[in-house]
Amino acid sequence: MSYKRWIFIATFLFGIGLGFGLATPASISLPPEYIAALEEQFASISALPKPLIALFIFIKNTSALLLSFALSPIFWLVPILALTANGWLIAFVSTEVIKVESLGFLFAGLLPHGIFELPALILGQAAALSFGTMAILALVKKERRNLLLPSLKQNLRYLIIACALLVPAAIIETYITPLLLR
């Protein structure tokens, strides 16, 4: 299957998550203890020097992509969950932000780094889905085993591109996004 189809599948799964996030009733909210814990974590991270914040964001996002890629042969579960959960979270939080702030505030907070981070998510998860499929096929069909290594090499190239996109995303999220949200 061509890589363009994997990108389409990954985008479709992300879109399903967005749809669920938009359809989630406004009456559903996170428990106050959870919100307090998130605020505490955010405060401790934001107290760090900006280069360390950017490095933390990059490492967190990169490790999530790498873990998803490594676990993709387990019936695509992690890439599917990563795409739909990220879509759901973005849509759910976005609707809450628009209620409290504005659409402009939301765009200022998401667009600058999202231009890099969302394509990185889609590319990385498409590579994970593609590799996971080939790994499963190699287990089931002996004649496909010789295609596993070339598939791994090709999908690692896409994964490297996705991880490279996370560098400017982390820098923008650390340095530019806070300025736009003030």
pLDDT tens digit string along 89-113? 999 989 888 888 899 999 999 999 9
Given this model, what pLDDT does residue 97 score?
A: 86
The rounded distance, in Å, linking the Cα atoms of 147 and 149 is 6
| pLDDT above 90 (res 121) | yes
Residue type, 124: G
Flag the least confident range among 51-55, 117-121, 138-142. 138-142
Please tell me which residue, 60 or 97, carries the higher pLDDT value.
Answer: 60
How many domains, in total, are found in the chain?
Answer: 1
Q: Convert 17-37 to b/e letters by CB count within 10 Å (16 or more is b).
A: bbeebeeeeeeeeeeeeeeee
Residue 29, domain member (yes or no): no
Residue 133, domain member (yes or no): yes
Helices (runs of H) and strands (runs of E) counted in the chain: 7, 0
Residue 25, domain member (yes or no): no
Is the entire prediction scored with pTM above 0.75?
yes
User: In this structure, is the dihedral angle defined by the CA atoms of residues 161, 167, 170 and 171, taken in order, positive or negative?
Assistant: negative
Given this model, what pLDDT does residue 125 score?
A: 98
CA 158 to chain centre: 15
How many CA atoms does the CB half-sphere of 85 hold within 13 Å?
A: 9
Given this model, what pLDDT does residue 26 score?
A: 72
Residue 141, domain member (yes or no): yes
| pLDDT above 80 (res 27) | no
Confidence grade of residue 155 (pLDDT, cut at 50, 70, 90): very high
Residue 166, domain member (yes or no): yes
Average pLDDT, the chain: 92
Domain that holds residue 160: 3-19+49-181
Q: Convert 142-181 to b/e letters by CB count within 10 Å (16 or more is b).
A: eeeeeebeebbeebeebbeebbebbebbbbbbbeebeeee
Residue 28, domain member (yes or no): no
68-96: average pLDDT? 93
| pLDDT above 90 (res 154) | yes
Number of Cβ within 10 Å of residue 127's Cβ equals 30
Residue 24, domain member (yes or no): no
The rounded distance, in Å, linking the Cα atoms of 52 and 140 is 45
Phi, psi of 47 (to 5 degrees): -80, -15
| pLDDT above 80 (res 38) | no
Q: Which residues contact 173 (CB under 8 A, 6 or more apart)?
A: 54, 57, 112, 113, 117
Given this model, what pLDDT does residue 32 score?
A: 77
Q: What is the DSSP letter of 109?
A: H
Residue 27, domain member (yes or no): no
Confidence grade of residue 170 (pLDDT, cut at 50, 70, 90): very high
62-70: average pLDDT? 96
| pLDDT above 90 (res 9) | yes
